[in-house]
Amino acid sequence: MNSISIIGTGYVGLVTGTCLSEFGIRVTCMDVDRGKIDSLSRGRVPIYEPGLDALVAKNLEAGRLRFTADIAEAVAGSNMIFIAVGTPPGEDGSVDMKHVLAAAESIAEHMTEPKVIVNKSTVPVGTGRRVKALVHSILERRGLGGLAFDVVSNPEFLREGSAVRDFMHPDRVVIGSESEAAAAQMRDIYNVLYLIDTPFIFTTLESAELIKYASNAFLATKITFINEIANLCDAAGADVHAVAKAMGLDGRIGKYFLHPGPGYGGSCLPKDTQGLVAIGRDHGVRMDVVGAVIAANDAQKRFMVDKIEKGLGGLDGRTVAVLGLAFKPETDDMRFAPSVPIVQGLIAKGARVRAYDPVAMDNAFKHDLAAEAAAGGLRACADEYEAASGADAVVLLTEWNQFRHLDLNRVRELMAGRHFFDLRNVYEPQDMTARGFVYAGVGR
Ligand code: NAD
């Protein structure tokens, strides 16, 4: 029977480990962050992810899920070891592989029996082979050159905010492997998904690694494309929602990821588009489309600041209420959130910003926007109504459900001005105008 250890207990590692334990498999989640492990061992989940707390508690209680900071224990306790550590962007956009290589090294230093090493982190094409060579060289040095092991690529496609549901009902499971036995073990641990007719793609290590980057870069392209069309709609007096709906009805295009906004953010799309350009560079292949997407996405955030500035007739001395800081609803993740450059851009042009987010306040004010808060340009508010009090403009930046149902009359009364910049197109322009707002969405 397979048992699993997960090296790296972040968004992906914790969700993967917890969901696999829910499938009935014995799972040990390991992390170098002792604080995180201590907290998880007591059933306290350190990230905000809907539905995850209950699953962690249930499987901890059942004894199928455990947490450790001890790599030796994690390696000894399982026959399949998943690597789910971060692959952040380096200075030049290339993928920083230090955590993946450190994890592979520590597995090789501790293994004494055959293992399947499964890479779940998003990594450049060629990493599986690199990990194989690294593990092999360490085993040889340890006098264990004959010890069998396989390396599998199993990229993860879950989205923060719906990670548990995505893991339990994925559009596909991708397994890259050179070993039939390892591929069969992978199918076995995902048997629950196999039984509900989830498509499985069995392919090579290289193809599996590229599928992840190609998918994320394509999604980023779709978002950026509709943002560009939205900007044109604004200038030409068209409605991007009508355009996107009609485009999406074409089966060759598809209706998803055609919602305009302030530019994509988050822990995946920005770093994976940059990563793909760097991977292309390493292979002597120009990735011009992806390069243009990155540039256009950066420009979209500046364009939003300009739009607010123009709408208000200047930002100097103006008070702007920002609703939502997380890169999307249902997460506390602030990595590459569009709110960061937009808030910074507003402050740089002289605005005072009052901000509120239902769950990302801590991350935002302690890390990403700490300097702006310390300098006095940014103030944390207790809720959306405190943020709106005395503001010349409200900017809706993250479409949390509670911002979809604002008491608009109260907001209007609390504000000093009337401008409402709806960067997620949550509200209807006509309705907002009728309520006395000077309303601006994106592309309508
Ligand atoms: P994360 O930063 O939330 O978690 C990574 C964890 O790994 C951290 O807890 C860190 O302490 C730990 N770690 C680092 N080095 C370690 C080591 N040597 N041994 C043990 N633990 C170690 O990252 P994440 O968001 O979970 O992303 C992990 C990978 O999955 C990345 O490659 C990412 O691109 C990919 N991915 C992320 C998402 C997402 O939505 N977050 C979705 C799909 C794929």
Q: Find the mean pLDDT for residues 166-177.
A: 98
> Between β-strands 200-203 and 378-380, what pairing exists: parallel, antiparallel or unpaired?
unpaired
- CB of 174 closer than 6 A to ligand 1? no
- Cα of 438 vs centre of ligand 1, distance in Å, is 43
- Cα of 7 vs centre of ligand 1, distance in Å, is 9
Return the residue whose CA atom lies nearest to atom 18 of ligand 1: 103
User: Ligand 1 pocket test: which of 19, 85, 134 has the largest number of ligand atoms within 8 Å of its C-beta?
Assistant: 85
DSSP string, 87-116: --B-TTS-B--HHHHHHHHHHHHH--S-EE
Interacting residues of 152 by C-beta distance below 8 A, sequence separation 6+: 116, 117, 118, 119, 128, 175, 176, 177, 179, 182, 183, 186, 205
Q: What is the pLDDT of residue 99?
A: 98
Helix (H, G, I), strand (E, B) or coil at 385: helix
- CB of 10 closer than 6 A to ligand 1? yes
Average pLDDT, the chain: 97
- Cα of 10 vs centre of ligand 1, distance in Å, is 5
pLDDT at residue 1 greater than cutoff 90 = no
Token reading at 440: 């601006």
Q: How far apart are CA 176 and CA 204, in angstroms?
A: 4
- CB of 27 closer than 6 A to ligand 1? no
With beta carbons less than 8 A apart as the criterion, state whether 80 and 262 touch. no
234 band by pLDDT with thresholds 50, 70 and 90: very high
pLDDT tens-digit readout, 99-146: 999 999 999 999 999 999 999 999 999 999 999 999 999 999 999 999
Give which of 77, 157, 59, 71 is closest to 109, Cα–Cα.
71
DSSP string, 272-293: HHHHHHHHHHHTT---HHHHHH
Interacting residues of 44 by C-beta distance below 8 A, sequence separation 6+: none
With beta carbons less than 8 A apart as the criterion, state whether 364 and 293 touch. no
Q: How far apart are CA 412 and CA 338, in angstroms?
A: 25
pLDDT tens-digit readout, 390-426: 999 999 999 999 999 999 999 999 999 999 999 999 9
Percent of the chain with pLDDT over 90: 99
Q: How far apart are CA 239 and CA 320, in angstroms?
A: 26
Token reading at 9: 């207990």
CA distances, 36 to each of 32, 69, 292 (Å): 9, 9, 38
| Residue positions annotated with a catalytic role | 268
Indicate the DSSP class of residue 32: S
Return the residue whose CA atom lies nearest to atom 15 of ligand 1: 99
Q: What is the pLDDT of residue 253?
A: 98
Q: What is the pLDDT of residue 126?
A: 98
313 band by pLDDT with thresholds 50, 70 and 90: very high
pTM, two decimal places: 0.95
Return the residue whose CA atom lies nearest to atom 3 of ligand 1: 10
pLDDT tens-digit readout, 105-114: 999 999 999 9
- Cα of 36 vs centre of ligand 1, distance in Å, is 13
pLDDT at residue 317 greater than cutoff 90 = yes
CA distances, 92 to each of 102, 242, 270, 271 (Å): 21, 39, 13, 11
Token reading at 186: 């992978």
pLDDT tens-digit readout, 48-69: 999 999 999 999 999 999 999 9
Give which of 443, 394, 89, 440 is closest to 266, Cα–Cα.
89
Q: How far apart are CA 338 and CA 398, in angstroms?
A: 9
- CB of 321 closer than 6 A to ligand 1? no
CA distances, 328 to each of 103, 132, 421 (Å): 30, 36, 17
179 band by pLDDT with thresholds 50, 70 and 90: very high
> Between β-strands 173-177 and 3-7, what pairing exists: parallel, antiparallel or unpaired?
unpaired
Q: What is the pLDDT of residue 159?
A: 95
Find the DSSP H helices in 65-204: 71-76, 98-110, 127-141, 163-168, 180-189, 191-195
